[in-house]
């Protein structure tokens, strides 16, 4: 009887234990443990390869044209140009810095164009409202930042020079007339070379979109930006006006919602500035912090010195980059103040800003 009671009690205990055990196991097994929040989407190796292929396919679009002949060399200042400017500008301000060379030709020499890019890929959930119906779609994109490093030298060849020394001021005794020393408007023939070290980078960008499993170029930046030696030390170009005679586009560095912006992305299908084959473009005006500068335009292997009247003829349909280059004028003369006869010197550093604006030219 006692054994029976014990067994019965044991049985009840065992049953309770098994029941509890079962509940525990059920809770443990079927109940969800807490899981971390969903991680951020990261592109697979296949995605990365596809993005890489898409960038490579458009590599020429993202490279500057420094390595093209037209960009490499141009006769910056035609003979007599400096003297003419000199006379007119001194009339306005006798203390203004002046060239001391004339008939300058400058040429870029560089042997390593290093185009690197990185991308950040993400999935966005977008809300689309179509009448009363709201849907959410996922959009997979990769924003690509391309950086091209351009080291090298700017070699300038001077054919004529003056003995004018820049920034040479003479402070006479009180009451005497202030005057420049060593001022000379006479140019002598010469043949000398000055080299400026060049180190600049071009930044460009694009947005790729994944659609139906394939990555393709969707948007491009309004323009590439070249700064030498750094954005802070290069001239600051705020905006310029581009006109074809019928329409004027404002190209801004900093974008807003109304004007075309260099630092902004545009759908290559329908958001880029569109011109017609046969249009003649000209840069009407620029807004810059460096007024004493040499400015150039470059399109399709041809370089132009900027003048408001110069026109750039659009002959070929397709996507084009219209480059606009600004060099502070001191870049274009020898800066040490030493006589030029002492030979080529590597004084100072090349500084410039170049925008490579994206245009779409249609038939």
- Interface residues with another protein (CB under 8 A) are 6-7, 9-11, 13-14, 17-18, 20-21, 24-25, 27-29, 31-37, 40, 120, 122, 124, 126, 141, 143, 145, 203, 205, 207, 218-219, 221-222, 225, 254-255, 257, 261, 263-266
Contact 306, 295 (CB under 8 A): yes
| Cis amide bond preceding 295, omega within 30 | no
Distance of CA 173 to the CA centre of its chain: 51
Supply the minimum distance, in Å, between the C-beta of residue 84 and another protein: 38
In the complex, minimum distance from the CB of residue 30 to another protein, in angstroms, rounded to a whole number: 11
Cα within 13 Å of Cα(200), Cβ side: 30
Q: Least Å distance between CB 11 and another protein?
A: 7
Q: Is 287:238 a contact under the CB 8 Å cutoff?
A: yes
Q: Which is nearer to another protein, 82 or 224 (CB)?
A: 224
- Contact criterion met (CB below 8 Å) for 260 and 344: no
In the structure encoding, which two tokens stand for residue 40, read together? 């951020």
CB of 25 to another protein, least distance (A): 8
Least distance from another protein to the Cβ atom of residue 190, Å: 42
Length reported for the chain: 363
In the complex with another protein, the residue whose CB is nearer, 40 or 171, is: 40
Question: CB of 10: closest distance to another protein in angstroms?
Answer: 5
157 versus 356: smaller Cβ distance to another protein:
356
Choose between 60 and 125: whose C-beta lies nearer to another protein. 125
Question: Whose structure tokens read 């694009």?
Answer: 206
Closest alpha carbon to 65 in 316, 321, 283: 321
Q: Give Cβ neighbours of residue 52 (< 8 Å, ≥ 6 apart).
A: none
Evaluate whether 109 touches 73 at the Cβ level (below 8 Å). Answer: no
Q: Of 203 and 243, which CB lies nearer to another protein in the complex structure?
A: 203
Q: Which CB, 10 or 191, lies closer to another protein?
A: 10
């Amino acid at each position: 009887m006692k054994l029976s009671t014990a067994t019965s009690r044991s049985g009840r205990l065992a049953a309770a234990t098994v029941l509890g055990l079962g509940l525990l196991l059920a809770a443990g097994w079927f109940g969800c443990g807490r899981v971390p929040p969903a991680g951020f989407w990261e592109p697979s190796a296949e995605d990365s390869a596809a993005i890489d292929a898409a960038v490579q396919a458009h590599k020429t679009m993202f490279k500057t044209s420094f390595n093209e002949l037209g960009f490499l060399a141009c006769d910056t200042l035609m003979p007599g140009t400096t003297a003419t400017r000199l006379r007119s500008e001194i009339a306005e301000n006798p203390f203004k810095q002046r060239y001391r060379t004339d008939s300058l030709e400058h040429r870029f020499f560089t042997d390593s164009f290093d185009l690197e890019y990185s991308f950040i890929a993400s999935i966005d959930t977008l809300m689309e409202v179509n009448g009363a119906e709201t849907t959410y779609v996922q959009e997979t994109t990769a924003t690509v930042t391309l950086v091209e490093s351009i080291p090298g030298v700017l070699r300038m060849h001077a054919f004529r020079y003056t003995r004018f020394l820049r920034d040479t001021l003479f402070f006479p005794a009180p009451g005497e007339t202030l005057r420049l020393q060593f001022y000379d408007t006479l140019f002598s023939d010469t043949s000398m070379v000055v080299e400026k070290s060049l180190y600049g980078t071009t930044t460009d960008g694009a947005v790729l979109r994944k659609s139906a499993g394939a990555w393709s170029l969707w948007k491009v930046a309004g323009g590439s930006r070249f700064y030498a030696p750094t954005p802070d030390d290069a001239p600051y170009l705020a905006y310029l006006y581009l006109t074809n005679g019928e329409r004027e586009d404002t190209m801004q560095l900093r974008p807003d919602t109304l004007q075309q912006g260099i630092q902004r992305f545009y759908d290559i299908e329908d958001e880029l500035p569109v011109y017609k084959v046969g249009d003649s473009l000209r840069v009407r005006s620029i807004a810059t912090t460096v007024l004493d500068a040499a400015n150039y335009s470059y399109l399709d292997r041809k370089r132009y010195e900027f003048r408001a009247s110069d026109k750039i003829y659009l002959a070929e349909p397709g996507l084009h980059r219209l480059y606009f280059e600004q060099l502070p004028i001191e870049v274009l003369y020898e800066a040490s103040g030493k006589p030029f006869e002492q030979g080529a010197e590597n004084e100072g550093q090349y500084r410039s800003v170049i925008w490579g604006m994206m245009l779409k030219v249609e038939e």
